[in-house]
Amino acid sequence: MPTLVPTPKIWMNGSLVEWDKAQVHVLTHTLHYGTGVFEGIRAYETPQGAAVFRLTEHIQRLHNSAKIMGMEIPYSVDELVAATKETVASTGLSSCYVRPIAYYGYGEMGLNTLPCKVDVAIACWPWGAYLGDDALTKGVRMKISSWTRLDHNMLPPASKTVANYANSSLAKVEALRAGYDEAILLNQAGLVSECTGENLFVVRGGRIVTPPTSAGALEGITQHSVMRIARDLGHEIVVDNVARSDLYVADEIFCCGTAAEVSAINSVDDRSIPCPGPVTKAVAEMYGRVVRGREDRYKDWCELAV
């Protein structure tokens, strides 16, 4: 049984269609060549109603991903922000995951994307704790992947391109099959980049470090939120390179992403890490309040769906 829970409507090229009717042809270009770009966003229940967390920034990143790939999205950021709100509102859910995708549709085959038409869809579904219900309390078991993170001149890791996730999937499945929960990918220089779908934070000696985009990490919107929250909580936090051995001797490690939120890490390659540590707990708790519109100073990040 598939675990995906349908919602009433999916937005496709300007209109809301029934979930079951939101279909594409088997010769959809992106299905064959991985050339689409997508986003992952969450809507949360706030005291004012359902709000999409940092929606405008996510849609802006979708446009940036497309720009990196040389793709022109036929809808402006404002149009897609409005479309996302409309789609979330149509679900009737107070919280859900939101997946906008821009892809080359049906009509052309072959690697030349220049003549291809760009289609856009936005779908929502309920999605629980991405790394398991006890990701914050018990923590996540991490493995350094045997797969290398994509290099900037192969497939730009800063773009959320569909094809990039074949790299993430290889690492994820390898880690799961070996009995771990998630993988950390090193780049070609051997430095830490990120996890298969989360950014990474390493706490040591009262200082928090997170790897930069140049190391092969996605410019995470949760990463950005966590940096601001941690600073506001009084922590020193820097963007800098992290070596594999930095992970083994860390005081705390946590990862974050839209789907995973803030998740604690209890070990890397079977070297145990204190978990959940005080910094992880404080940041995770505050993040949980912020996304639910319970902290006034971050209210601008919660964009009401209706």
Q: Which residues does the annotation mark as catalytic?
A: 160
| Residue 220 engages ligand PPE in binding (rule: CB under 6 A) | yes
Nearer to ligand PPE, 274 or 288 (CB): 288
> Which is nearer to ligand PPE, 116 or 143 (by Cβ)?
143
* 119 touching ligand PPE, by CB under 6 A: no
> Nearer to ligand PPE by C-beta: 115 or 126?
126
* Residue 292 near residue 238, CB atoms below 8 Å: no
Report the nearest approach of ligand PPE to the CB of residue 226 (Å): 9
By CB under 6 A, residue 218 contacts ligand PPE: yes
Tokens of 248: 């083994």
Q: Which two tokens stand for residue 292?
A: 């639910």
Q: Which of 193, 184, 153 is nearest to 268 (CA)?
A: 184
User: Which of 35, 199, 213, 267 is in the footprint of ligand PPE by CB under 6 A?
Assistant: 199
Check the CA dihedral 285-290-292-294 and report its sign.
positive
Q: Are 226 and 260 in contact (CB under 8 A)?
A: no
* Cα 250 to Cα 192, 206, 207, distances in angstroms: 13, 10, 10
Cα–Cα distance measured from residue 81 to residue 189, given in angstroms and rounded to the nearest whole number: 38
d(CA 170, CA 210): 23
Per CB under 6 A, does 257 bind ligand PPE? Answer: yes
Q: Exactly one of 162, 259, 264, 305 binds ligand PPE (CB under 6 A); which one?
A: 259
Q: Give the residue nearest to ligand PPE (CB).
A: 40
Whether the CB-CB separation of 43 and 51 falls below 8 Å is answered with: yes
Residue span binding ligand PPE (CB under 6 A) among the ranges 76-84, 117-125, 133-141, 253-261? 253-261
By CB under 6 A, tell whether 65 contacts ligand PPE.
Answer: no
Tell me which residues touch ligand PPE (CB under 6 A).
Answer: 40, 168, 194, 197-199, 218, 220-223, 257-260
